[in-house]
Amino acid sequence: MMSSENELEGLREQIADTTREIIDLVAARNALAKKVGELKMKGSIPLEDAKVEDSLVRLVLGECETKGLDGQTGLKILSTLLAEGKRVQGFPAKQQLITPMMMSAKAQQIEATGKKLLRLDVGEPDFHPPKAVLDATSEALYAYRTRYAPTRGIPELVTAVRQYIDRRHHFPVKDSEVIVNPGGRFGVYMALMSSVREGESAIVIEPNWPAYKEGLQYIGARAISVHTTLEEGWLPSVDAVQDAIRPNTRAIVLSYPANPTGAILAPEKFRGIVEVADEHGLTVISDEIYTDYSYAPTPSILETPAKKFILTASFSKTWAMTGFRVGYTVSSEENISKMMKIQSLIVTCVPEFIQRGAIKALGSDPEVASNAAAMRERIDLASRELDAIPALQYAKPDGAMYIFPQARNADFDSVAFTMKLLEEKGVTISPGTGFGDYPRAFRVSLGGSKETIVEGIRKIGELLA
Amino acid sequence: MMSSENELEGLREQIADTTREIIDLVAARNALAKKVGELKMKGSIPLEDAKVEDSLVRLVLGECETKGLDGQTGLKILSTLLAEGKRVQGFPAKQQLITPMMMSAKAQQIEATGKKLLRLDVGEPDFHPPKAVLDATSEALYAYRTRYAPTRGIPELVTAVRQYIDRRHHFPVKDSEVIVNPGGRFGVYMALMSSVREGESAIVIEPNWPAYKEGLQYIGARAISVHTTLEEGWLPSVDAVQDAIRPNTRAIVLSYPANPTGAILAPEKFRGIVEVADEHGLTVISDEIYTDYSYAPTPSILETPAKKFILTASFSKTWAMTGFRVGYTVSSEENISKMMKIQSLIVTCVPEFIQRGAIKALGSDPEVASNAAAMRERIDLASRELDAIPALQYAKPDGAMYIFPQARNADFDSVAFTMKLLEEKGVTISPGTGFGDYPRAFRVSLGGSKETIVEGIRKIGELLA
Write out the DSSP string of B36-53.
HHHHHHHHT--S--HHHH
Name residues whose C-beta falls within 8 Å of residue A409's C-beta, 6 or more positions apart in sequence. Answer: A391, A440
Cα A138 to Cα A128: distance, rounded to the nearest angstrom: 15
Asked if B18's CB is within 8 angstroms of A67's CB, the reply is no
Q: How far is B24 from chain A (nearest CA, A)?
A: 7
Helix axis angle, A100-112 to A414-425, nearest 10° = 20
Domain B132-363 has CATH 2.60.40.1180: no
Q: Cα Rg for chain B, rounded, in angstroms? A: 25
CB B138 within 8 A of CB A133: no
Give chain B's mean pLDDT: 94
- Would you state the pLDDT for residue B39? 86
CB B164 within 8 A of CB B170: no
Nearest CA in chain A to B55: A16
- Would you state the pLDDT for residue A47? 64
What CATH fold (topology level) applies to the domain B23-88? Answer: Chorismate Mutase Domain, subunit A (1.20.59)
- Would you state the pLDDT for residue A92? 65
Three-state DSSP at B386 gives helix
Q: Is A212 on the interface with B (CB under 8 A)?
A: no
Which residues of chain A are within 8 Å of residue B151 when distances are taken between CB atoms?
Answer: 101, 105
Average pLDDT over residues B87-110: 80
ipTM for this prediction:
0.94
Of B19, B150, B348, the CB nearest to A56: B19
CB B198 within 8 A of CB B221: yes
Q: How far is B447 from chain A (nearest CA, A)?
A: 12
Average pLDDT over residues B385-389: 98
- Would you state the pLDDT for residue B96? 65
Which residues of chain B are within 8 Å of residue A1 when distances are taken between CB atoms?
Answer: 43
Instruction: Kindly tell me if the per-residue pLDDT of B156 is higher than 80.
Output: yes
Asked if A70's CB is within 8 angstroms of B84's CB, the reply is yes
Q: Is B36 on the interface with A (CB under 8 A)?
A: yes
Q: Which CATH class is domain A100-123+366-464?
A: alpha beta
Q: Which three-class secondary structure string do you get for chain A?
A: CHHHHHHHHHHHHHHHHHHHHHHHHHHHHHHHHHHHHHHHHHHCCCCCCHHHHHHHHHHHHHHHHHHCCCHHHHHHHHHHHHHHHHHHCCCCCCCCCCCHHHHHHHHHHHHHCCCCCEECCCCCCCCCCCHHHHHHHHHHHHCCCCCCCCCCCCHHHHHHHHHHHHHHHCCCCCHHHEEEECCHHHHHHHHHHHHCCCCCEEEEEECCCCHHHHHHHHHCCEEEEEECCCCCCCCCCHHHHHHHCCCCEEEEEECCCCCCCCCCCCHHHHHHHHHHHHHCCCEEEEECCCCCCECCCCCCHHHCCCCCEEEEEECCCCCCCHHHCCEEEEECHHHHHHHHHHHHHHCCCCCHHHHHHHHHHCCCHHHHHHHHHHHHHHHHHHHHHHHCCCCEECCCCCECCEECCEECCCCCCHHHHHHHHHHHHCEECEEHHHHCCCCCEEEEECCCCHHHHHHHHHHHHHHHC
Half-sphere exposure of B158 (CA within 13 A, CB side): 18
Which residues of chain A are within 8 Å of residue B141 when distances are taken between CB atoms?
Answer: 134, 137-138
What CATH fold (topology level) applies to the domain A131-364? Answer: Aspartate Aminotransferase; domain 2 (3.40.640)
CB B127 within 8 A of CB B371: yes
- Would you state the pLDDT for residue B293? 97
Q: How far is B168 from chain A (nearest CA, A)?
A: 26
Asked if B22's CB is within 8 angstroms of A22's CB, the reply is yes
Torsion angle in degrees (nearest 10) through CA of B190, B195, B201, B206 = -60
Nearest CA in chain A to B355: A323
Instruction: Kindly tell me if the per-residue pLDDT of B408 is higher than 70.
Output: yes
Cα B353 to Cα A105: distance, rounded to the nearest angstrom: 19
Residue B280 main-chain phi, psi, to 5 deg:
-100, 10
Residue % of chain B over a pLDDT of 90? 88
Taken in order B234, B238, B240, B242, the sign of the CA dihedral is positive
Q: pTM for the complete prediction?
A: 0.95
- B191-219 CB burial, b ≥16 within 10 A, e <16: bbbbbbbbbbbbbbbbbbbbbbbbbbebb
Average pLDDT over residues B319-333: 97
Instruction: Kindly tell me if the per-residue pLDDT of B2 is higher than 60.
Output: no
Q: Is B47 on the interface with A (CB under 8 A)?
A: no
Asked if A43's CB is within 8 angstroms of B105's CB, the reply is no
**Mean pLDDT, contiguous 10-residue spans, chain A (465 residues):** 78 95 95 90 74 93 94 95 88 71 87 93 93 98 96 97 96 96 97 97 97 96 97 98 97 98 98 98 98 97 97 96 98 97 95 98 95 97 98 98 97 96 96 96 97 98 97
Cα B243 to Cα B252: distance, rounded to the nearest angstrom: 13
Other Cβ atoms closer than 10 A to B93: 6
- Would you state the pLDDT for residue B41? 80
Q: How far is B185 from chain A (nearest CA, A)?
A: 6
Segment 274-333 of chain B within 8 Å of chain A by CB: 320-325
Q: How far is B270 from chain A (nearest CA, A)?
A: 27
**Widest CA span of chain B, in angstroms?**
89
Average pLDDT over residues B31-51: 82
Same fold, A100-123+366-464 and A131-364: no
Q: Is B400 on the interface with A (CB under 8 A)?
A: no
Q: Is B93 on the interface with A (CB under 8 A)?
A: no
Cα A275 to Cα A269: distance, rounded to the nearest angstrom: 10
Q: What angle do CA B226, B227, B229 make, to 5 degrees?
A: 145
pLDDT digits (tens, 9 = 90+) for B160-188: 999 999 999 999 999 999 999 999 999 99
pLDDT digits (tens, 9 = 90+) for B332-368: 999 999 999 999 999 999 999 999 999 999 999 999 9
**Widest CA span of chain A, in angstroms?**
89
Segments making up each domain of chain A, as ranges: 37-93, 100-123+366-464, 131-364
- Would you state the pLDDT for residue B95? 60
